[in-house]
Amino acid sequence: MSPASGSVEESPLAVTVPRPVMNDGAGEPLVLLIAGDGKHMDGYAFLLPLLERKHRVVTVSLLEGWTGIGVQLPSIDELVGRARAAILDLGPGRSIALIGFSLAGVVAAAYTASYAGVGRLIVISASLTSSPRHRAFARTWARARALGSDGMRDFVTYSMLSPAFHEDSRPSDNAAIDALMIDPTADAAAAIFAAADISNLAPQIDVPTLVIGCAGDQVASVEQSQALFAAIPSARYSEIDCGHAALLERPVEVLSLLERFLRNPHRHAPASVIPRDEP
Amino acid sequence: MTDTIIVGAGFAGVGMGICLRRQGERSFVILERGGDVGGTWRDNIYPGVACDIPSHLYSYSFRPNANWSKFYADGSEILGYLRQAVQEEGLLPHLRLHEEATSMRWDGESRRWTVRTPQGVYVSRVLIVAAGRLSEPRYLDVPGLRSFAGPVFHSSRWRPDIDLAGQRVGIVGTGASAVQLLPKVAEQGADVVLFQRSPAYIVPRANRTYSQSERRKLSLIPGALARLRARLFWKAEMGFAERIGVPTFVDALQERALGHLEAQVSDPNLRAQLTPDYAIGCKRILLSDDFYPALCGENVRLEPSAVSRAEGNRIHSASGTGYDLDMLILATGFKSTRPPFASRIVGAGGVVLSERWEHGMVAYASTMVAGFPNLFIMDGPNASLGHNSAIHMIETQIEFILGALNYLQSSESDVLDVSRAAEDSYTADIDKRSASTVWLTGGCSSWYVDAGSRRLTLLWPDLASSFRHEVGTFDPESYMAQPTGPVEPWVLDAAAGLASEVRAR
C-alpha cells in the first residue's frame, strides 16, 4: 500500500458526500462513523443490528469511494468535513450521538471539538497523538499488503487481535478477520490513523464522552486511549480486556457500555473510570 | 420464626444461601424436598448427563473453581461442586432436607409467610422460591402407556437398577437429555428406537479436558479465573445475535449445524429426517459429537414421528409403525412455563399464584409479583436464557434480592410489594423485546413459550449483560414499599407459636 505516493490528484473525497444510511428507530439518532467503505461494514456486523434494535442509527462511511490509486490521503480535517456534510444531510439543528472506532473515533472526537450538535460522543480504540509505534504499524501494514492476502491476514491477526482471542476462535472468525483488511480503504485508514494527532482538539470537547480503551491494543495502544480520556475534560473511561479490534473480539461488551452510556451519560461523573463488568 | 425461607437447594437456592450467609445473615432456612442438594444435577443422573455451558461460566463467580476437569463438565462434577459449596460455606445448619413446601401462604395481618411441609410449619418475613425450572418432569400421555409391559421412566428419574444390556429400548424425545443419553443407551441396548417429533439443530460439542498445567495456571495466577470467565461470558453473549435473526450470524450457525449433520450422517434419507424445518435457535440448540454417529449404528433406529399409543409391549408411532420394546425412557422435558409450585403459593387476599398466572408467568424484574409481598421468585418468568449461562442470571437475581432485603432492613417498612402498574409495564416491555426474537418468529413449538398465551414467558429476550444492568440493582422507587408500624407482638407470637407447635408434633 502506498496511497500517498504517485501523482497528486484532487481527492475524490472532496466531491463525494457520503450518503447516510438510516433505519427507522426512534429518538435521537446515533451516528456511527465508519472508517472504511461499505464492505468494511462487516466489522460492525454484530454491533449495528443490535444498536438498531433500540435506536435510530445513521452510518457514515468516511472513505466511501476511496480507490487508493494515485490520490492523496485525506487529512483528518477532510474526513471531519465529510462527516459534517453527512450530518447536515440529516437536517438542521439535530442533536446526535456520535460513535467512532479507531480512525473513525479520532474523526468523531475532532468533529465534536469543531462543531456543535453532538450530544454524546463515544470513541473506541482510538488514540490522542501519533507515535513512532503508530508509524511503524502503518509501514508494516503496507509491507504486509505487498505480501498478498496470506501475509496480510497474518499481520492483522498478529496486530489487531489479542492472544486470548485465538484460544477459542472458530473458523468463521476468519471471515471477520478478512473484513478488517479487505479493501484499499483499510490501507488508507491505517495510514491516516498512524499520523493522526488531535491533542490540540481534545481539550475543547465538552459534551459527555465515553472513551473505551482496550487493554491489549497493539495498534492504538491502551496508553493512547487513556491519554485521550485524560485530554477530554468531559470524558469517562472504560477498559475492555481485548486487542484493537474490539468490535470483533468483544462486541457485546462494547454494546453494553454504549447502551448504558446512551441511557444515562451522567451516571458516572466526568473523569470517572467506569468499573469493568465482572460476569 | 426465621427471617427468610428459601425453597429449593439447587444452584439458585444454594447461591442465595451462600450470599446471605456471607453478609452475616443467620436467620434463614433452605427447604429442600429431596434428600440432597443439587437440584437438576441431583435429579438427572442418566448416562452421559453433562452441561452445555462452559464449566468456568456454569459456576458461581464468587466460588471460582480452577479444577474443572473439562471445558463442559459432566453432571456428577457439577453436583460435587455444589455439595462442596454447601459444606464449605456453612450452609448445612440452614438446610432442611426432605421438607417439601406443600403450601406457602401470605398472612397480611402478621405480615409473614407461612410455609407448610409434611414435617412442620415455618414462618418468615421473606420467602424466596428457588424451585427450579427443570424440576417437574413432563410425562408422555398416550393411550395404553400405563399398561405397557415394561418399565417406563423419565430421564430425570433414572433407574440405575435397570440393566440396559441386551434390551429393546425406546427413547422418546430429541431434546438435550435424549441427545446425551442415546449414545450411552446404544452402547448397551440390543435394539434402540428414538421417537422424534421434531429434530433439533446440533452443533459440534468439541469438549476437551483441562490439562494439569492449565489448571495450575488458573489457580496460581491472580485474576486468571476471572479473565477466563469474562472471555467465555462475552463470547457466549454473541449468541444472542442469532436469536434476533442477524443474517450473518444465523447463516454461519445454521451452516455449522447442517454441516455437522452432513459430515456425520451419510444416509440422505436419515439426514432429511434429521433436518429441522424451523429457524435455528427457535428451540434449544444442542451440542453433541456422538449423537449422530450413534443414530447411524446398526442397533439404532429413528422413528420420525411421535408415540401415539402403547399396547402390551408394543409402542405405536403416529406414522403407524409398531415397535416391540422392553422399556421406554421418556426424555420429554419439564413443566417449565407452568411450574407446579405456583398452585401452592397464596398471596394477599387469598390469590393463588397459578391463577394469577393463568395467562402465563409474569413478574416485575422477573422476580416479584404484585400482590405477593416479600416473595421473590428465582428462575421464574423471563429469567432464563437461550444463549448464555443460567448461573449469571441467578447471580443477577441474587444481587437484586439482596438489594431488596437490605432496603427492607434499612427502611421503616417490612413489607415490599410491587405495584401492578410497574409489573404490567415490565411485562409489556418484555413482550415488545420478544416480538422480534426467533423464539416467537422461528416457526417452532418450544418450552420457552407459554402454550396457552403464546407469550415468551420463560426466557429473558435480551442479553444476559442487559439483565444484569437493568434488573440486578434494586431500585426502591419502582416498588410499593409499604411503611407500616410494628406488628403487635401477640400476632408474631401466635405465628411463631404455630410454627414451633407443629414442629414439636
Which residues from chain A sit within 8 angstroms of residue B237, using beta carbons?
Answer: 252-253
* Strand-pair category, B286-287 with A118-124: unpaired
Q: What sign results for the dihedral spanned by CA atoms B290, B292, B295, B298?
A: negative
Residue A29 above 90 pLDDT?
no
Query: What percent of chain A has a predicted confidence (pLDDT) above 90?
Result: 57
What is the value of ipTM here, to two decimals? 0.91
Counting DSSP H helices and E strands in chain B, the numbers are 16, 20
With beta carbons less than 8 A apart as the criterion, state whether A240 and A213 touch: yes
Q: How confident is the model at residue A13 (pLDDT cuts 50, 70, 90)?
A: very low
Using a CB–CB cutoff of 8 Å, tell me whether B235 touches chain A.
yes
- Determine the residue of chain B that is closest to A254 in CA distance: B234
- Ranges A226-240, B204-218, B247-261: which has the least confidence: B247-261
Distance from CA of B120 to the nearest CA of A (A): 39
What average pLDDT does range A118-126 have in this prediction?
96
Query: What percent of chain B has a predicted confidence (pLDDT) above 70?
Result: 95
Distance from CA of A179 to the nearest CA of B (A): 13
Interchain proximity B241–A241, CB inside 8 Å:
no
Residue A53 above 60 pLDDT?
yes
Interchain proximity A255–B463, CB inside 8 Å:
yes
Residue B227 above 60 pLDDT?
yes
Using a CB–CB cutoff of 8 Å, tell me whether B246 touches chain A.
yes
Which residues, in sequence order, are CB contacts of B152 under 8 Å at separation 6+?
B145, B327, B328, B330
Distance from CA of A204 to the nearest CA of B (A): 32
Neighbours of B42 (CB within 10 A): 20
> How confident is the model at residue B206, as a pLDDT?
93
Query: What percent of chain A has a predicted confidence (pLDDT) above 70?
Result: 82
Q: What is the pLDDT of residues A95-117, one digit of tens each?
A: 899 999 999 999 999 999 999 99
Residue B421 above 50 pLDDT?
yes
Q: A-B interface: how many C-beta pairs under 8 angstroms?
A: 64
Helices B390-410 and B464-471: crossing angle, nearest 10°? 0
Sequence letter at residue A81: G
> How confident is the model at residue B491, as a pLDDT?
58
Q: How confident is the model at residue B486 (pLDDT cuts 50, 70, 90)?
A: low
Q: How confident is the model at residue B489 (pLDDT cuts 50, 70, 90)?
A: low
Average pLDDT, chain A: 85
> How confident is the model at residue B483, as a pLDDT?
47
Distance from CA of B196 to the nearest CA of A (A): 30
* Strand-pair category, B300-303 with B286-287: unpaired
* Strand-pair category, A57-61 with A21-22: antiparallel
Distance from CA of B150 to the nearest CA of A (A): 46
Q: What is the pLDDT of residues A79-91, one digit of tens each?
A: 999 999 999 988 8
Residue with cell 432436607: B97
Which residues from chain A sit within 8 angstroms of residue B57, using beta carbons?
Answer: 279
Q: How confident is the model at residue A4 (pLDDT cuts 50, 70, 90)?
A: very low
Interchain proximity B463–A252, CB inside 8 Å:
yes
Average pLDDT, chain B: 93
With beta carbons less than 8 A apart as the criterion, state whether A232 and A205 touch: yes
Distance from CA of A11 to the nearest CA of B (A): 34
> How confident is the model at residue B95, as a pLDDT?
98
SS3 call for B375 = strand
> How confident is the model at residue B501, as a pLDDT?
45
SS3 call for B465 = helix
Of A49, A167, A256, the CB nearest to B469: A256
Which residues from chain A sit within 8 angstroms of residue B468, using beta carbons?
Answer: 277, 279
Q: What is the pLDDT of residues B276-304, one digit of tens each?
A: 999 999 999 999 999 999 999 999 999 99
> How confident is the model at residue A65, as a pLDDT?
77
Highest mean pLDDT range out of A38-42, B228-232, B334-338? B228-232
Chain B, window 73-102: residues with a beta carbon less than 8 angstroms from a chain A beta carbon = none
Using a CB–CB cutoff of 8 Å, tell me whether B208 touches chain A.
no
Residue B246 above 90 pLDDT?
no
Using a CB–CB cutoff of 8 Å, tell me whether A259 touches chain B.
yes
Using a CB–CB cutoff of 8 Å, tell me whether B436 touches chain A.
yes
CB-hemisphere CA count at 13 Å for A273?
A: 10
SS3 call for A28 = coil
Among the listed residues B119, B410, B469, the one whose alpha carbon sits nearest the alpha carbon of residue A256:
B469
Q: What is the pLDDT of residues B439-478, one digit of tens each?
A: 898 888 888 899 888 999 999 999 999 999 999 999 887 6
Using a CB–CB cutoff of 8 Å, tell me whether A54 touches chain B.
no
Q: How confident is the model at residue A52 (pLDDT cuts 50, 70, 90)?
A: confident
- Determine the residue of chain B that is closest to A249 in CA distance: B235
Using a CB–CB cutoff of 8 Å, tell me whether A166 touches chain B.
no
Which residues, in sequence order, are CB contacts of A83 under 8 Å at separation 6+?
A18, A31, A33, A60, A62, A107, A108, A111
Sequence letter at residue A185: T
> How confident is the model at residue A26, as a pLDDT?
53
